[in-house]
Structure 1
Amino acid sequence: MRFAKEELKEYPVSEVCKVLGVSKSNYYKERKRTEKEEKEEEKAVVQSFAENHGRYGRIRIRKELQRKGIEISEYRISNILRKNGLKAKCGRRRKWRKEKKDAPQYLEENLIKKKFEVVQPNYLWCSDITELRCHGTKVYVCGIIDVATRRIVGWSIAKTQTQKLVQDAFRMAVGRNPKRPENAVYHSDRGCQYTAKKTKELVESHGFRKSMSRPGKPNDNQPIESFWRTLECEMDDIRSLRFEEAARTIVNFIEMYYNADRLHSGINYMSPNDFFSL
């Protein structure tokens, strides 16, 4: 009926009914039902877009609606979004954070070499620091992502990027995940926070092997870099917030949205928490 409505609307109803092999009464009944369905579909798409604060495009909206038993094409979703003037937020290329190289350095080889096809939870963690801006100051966030489940297992937030920032995030991660496989890997760049002696000792004391990216190669740490693109796209609105409120906004995004609800393409469009629970 949607085809008939869109493609045959220039033709008389009697001719359309003849082509479709239906009576006029059934045609109008079906057309009314189709219009109702279209309104319900439009409402569902707009609602999904709003509930995810403009973060979902046509692919994720379709996946979310499928989980609710609503089948609708990406093409139809695109048309609805366009009709309502809705455009999803999109990630942008990250500005590469220059690594600070202070002596002494405890450098490690790259153990993973971009091999991110990991299936065992907590076997490979990737960590990095990103810089955001809020009212009157900078915000530094250290995050640790579990590559197998895409969960952010540890994080810390501060006004300065110190060893403590990295170490606090790591302590959170190991505290939340006491069960870990042997020979687990903790990967990072070569910034001074990661090459520090105390950081090395902390990581190794929990049974992790330390791995580091090649100098100036952010793609060696792709899983956490991908997360930062998502986070930074979402955090434009914290520029007007003071540090404490900005920090709460970031924590809420990580814990209540990204880990708990956001559908991730790398784990079959499930949320990290749901995938971890399988």
Structure 2
Amino acid sequence: MSIPRQCALLGLNRSSLFYTPHEPMSKAPAFDEAIMARIDSWHTRCPYLGSRKLVTRLQEDGVQVCRKTVRRLMQKMGIYAVYPKPNLSKRNFKEAIVPYLLRNYTAAFPNQVWSIDITYIPMPHGHMYLTAIIDWHSRRIVGHHLSDSLEVSNVVQAVRETVEKYGIPAIINSDQGSQFTSKEYKELLRSYGIRQSMDGRSRWADNIMIERWFRSLKTEQLYPNEYHTPRELRQLINQYVDDYNGIRPHEALGYEVPDKLYFNHFAA
């Protein structure tokens, strides 16, 4: 029944009826976190799913959610469907985009090319973000940094710590995310003399090496195990990085482990 009709039946003047504000739902943040956890699970399993198909999957899981909400949360998480499409990246500042330098490129030795990216990790109460850096030649994870935000400072810190520990690479590749087009990040690479490379427009596979590692981390370590605090999450990640680098054979390396290929080159 319309508001004017209700007023007429009650004998009230329509202009005297005002909206009574309500407090936001106290469960809204927790509800968003639960949805983001499900989105992350589906995105890790099927990274090609866009917001429309994710809505369908979530509704099949019993989560009643609209596409607008899914798109908002995907943006908050910093993820998108990884398949070629005309409008893959919005270029707010064209001067900040740099060319992709690695087409048909093969890294012949360690520290020649690194890839860097950020992934969302759900927590029981909230979420975290992991920045990771992988060496192209050895597939070794040379650096990673866990934080509770997508601030540029976290990416800058990850690069600084990795360079201090393992030296300066020739090239670092990333996607066209705002952290990697920022003035702080670009100036940091310039100060080290590192050449910056970015995924080409509509070329999601250009940074696939680090994307695959994120998927392995989540499916092999994070989803099967429980963690309740950032400290416990950090321990799980550190353990997985150590195992991945030191004892897990890699098919692309002729079933050698990344540590052996990385450090043997410098020993030779």
TM exceeding 0.5: yes
TM-score, normalised with respect to structure 1:
0.60
Q: Which has the larger radius of gyration?
A: 1
Once the two structures are superposed, the pairs formed by residues 69-88 of structure 1 within 5 Å of their partners are: none
In structure 2, the CA distance between the partners of 1:214 and 1:237, relative to structure 1 (3 Å rule), is same
1:211 and 2:201 aligned: no
Deviation for aligned residue 1:155: 0.9
Please, which moves more after superposition, 94-103 or 153-162? 94-103
Deviation for aligned residue 1:277: 2.5
Between the aligned partners of 2:105 and 2:47, the Cα distance in structure 1 is 20
Q: 1:164 aligns with which of 121, 129, 153?
A: 153
1:126 and 2:115 aligned: yes
Deviation for aligned residue 1:208: 0.7
Q: Which amino acid in 1 is paired with 2:47?
A: R
- Unaligned 5+ runs, structure 1: 1-90
Deviation for aligned residue 1:237: 3.5
Between the aligned partners of 1:102 and 1:231, the Cα distance in structure 2 is 32
User: Does the CA-based 8 Å contact 1:189-1:215 persist in structure 2?
Assistant: no
Deviations 1:217-276 (A, max 9, x none): 32010211121121121211456522221122112211x211111111111111111111
Between the aligned partners of 2:95 and 2:175, the Cα distance in structure 1 is 12
Q: 1:253 aligns with which of 224, 232, 240?
A: 240
User: Does the CA-based 8 Å contact 1:133-1:139 persist in structure 2?
Assistant: yes
Q: 2:128 aligns with which of 136, 139, 142?
A: 139
Q: Over the residues paired in the alignment, what is the CA RMSD in angstroms?
A: 2.3
1:236 and 2:223 aligned: yes
- Give the total of aligned pairs: 183
Give the SS at the match of 1:167.
helix
Sequence identity (%): 29
**1:20 match:** none
Q: Which amino acid in 2 is paired with 1:93?
A: C
In structure 2, the CA distance between the partners of 1:162 and 1:103, relative to structure 1 (3 Å rule), is farther
Deviations 1:172-216 (A, max 9, x none): 2211112x56xx111000100100001001011111100000245
In structure 2, the CA distance between the partners of 1:95 and 1:138, relative to structure 1 (3 Å rule), is farther
User: Does the CA-based 8 Å contact 1:116-1:147 persist in structure 2?
Assistant: no
Q: 2:208 aligns with which of 222, 229, 238?
A: 222
- Unaligned 5+ runs, structure 2: 1-43, 50-78, 81-88
Deviations 1:20-58 (A, max 9, x none): xxxxxxxxxxxxxxxxxxxxxxxxxxxxxxxxxxxxxxx
TM-score, normalised with respect to structure 2:
0.62
**2:186 match:** 200
